[in-house]
């Protein structure tokens, strides 16, 4: 009889319990990696936000410079036409 000799499904059940412990360890490792990844993503997101703000500031300065150049060109044109 397979049940009497220990070669039956009961041994598989023991392996499942052991595997369950391994699965728990794996899940802990995955959660740890996930937590670390979220921290890194937060840092990257903060850097992206900072760079975006700096680009917007530069865009504003460029627009002001373009306006000053245009005004200067208009003044030169006015002086040359006299």
Residue 55, helix vs strand vs coil: helix
Each domain of the chain, given as residue ranges in start order, spans 2-80
pLDDT at residue 82, as a whole number: 77
pLDDT at residue 7, as a whole number: 52
pLDDT at residue 20, as a whole number: 54
Q: Which residue ranges in the chain fall short of pLDDT 70?
A: 1-21
pLDDT at residue 16, as a whole number: 44
Instruction: Evaluate the CA torsion angle 38, 42, 44, 48 in order and state its sign.
Output: positive
pLDDT at residue 17, as a whole number: 47
With beta carbons less than 8 A apart as the criterion, state whether 10 and 4 touch.
no
């Amino acid at each position: 009889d397979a049940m009497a000799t220990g070669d039956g499904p009961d041994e598989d059940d023991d392996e499942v319990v052991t595997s369950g412990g391994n699965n728990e360890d794996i899940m802990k490792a995955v959660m740890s990696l996930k937590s670390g990844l979220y921290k890194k993503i937060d840092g990257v997101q903060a850097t992206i936000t900072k760079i975006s703000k700096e680009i917007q500031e530069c865009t504003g300065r460029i627009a002001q410079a373009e306006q000053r150049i245009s005004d200067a060109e208009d003044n030169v044109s006015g002086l040359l036409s006299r």
